[in-house]
């Protein structure tokens, strides 16, 4: 639901239990090979793709793909835009970069 926890250095001060849980929820959304492929496919598809574009490349059923996309949307990593019959999924612009910055603060 919420975007990436954009204020936790991870290195530096120890994470509180709450911050750890929040950050883990985002990381968990990416901790699945299918969801990583979906992110990669959407990015390579011009930043936007509908479910019908993704079902065949990942080789899973349509409900399963739909479920994974929902997980990514709930984690704040993707957006869903329903236009007509199709639902277009797109990456949230800074989300992955924010997460990356939280993981490795130099």
Partner DNA sequence: CGAGGGGATCGACGGATGTCAATGTCTGCG
Partner DNA sequence: CGCAGACATTGACATCCGTCGATCCCCTCG
Residues in the site for its own copies, rule: CB under 8 A? Answer: 10-15, 17, 20-21, 23-24, 27-28, 30-34, 36-37, 39-41, 43-44, 57, 91, 96-97, 99-101, 103-104, 106
Residues 5-64 that bind DNA (CB under 7 A): 28, 31-32, 34, 50-52, 60-64
Cβ atoms 93, 77 nearer than 8 A: no
Q: What is the CA radius of gyration of the chain?
A: 15
- The tokens 């496919």 sit on which residue? 41
| Closer to its own copies by Cβ: residue 20 or 50 | 20
Closest CB to DNA among residues 86, 105: 86
Total residues interacting with DNA, rule: CB under 7 A: 23
Tokens representing residue 35 in the block: 């969801």
């Amino acid at each position: 639901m919420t975007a990436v926890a954009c204020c936790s250095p991870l290195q530096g001060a120890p994470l509180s239990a709450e911050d750890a849980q929040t950050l883990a929820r985002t990381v968990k959304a990416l901790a699945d090979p299918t969801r990583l492929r979906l992110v990669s496919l959407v990015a390579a598809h011009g930043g936007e793709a509908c479910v019908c574009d993704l079902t065949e490349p990942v080789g899973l059923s349509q409900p399963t793909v739909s479920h994974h996309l929902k997980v990514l949307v709930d984690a704040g990593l993707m957006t869903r835009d329903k236009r007509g019959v199709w639902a277009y999924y797109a990456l949230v612009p800074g989300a992955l970069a924010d997460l990356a910055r939280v993981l490795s603060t130099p």
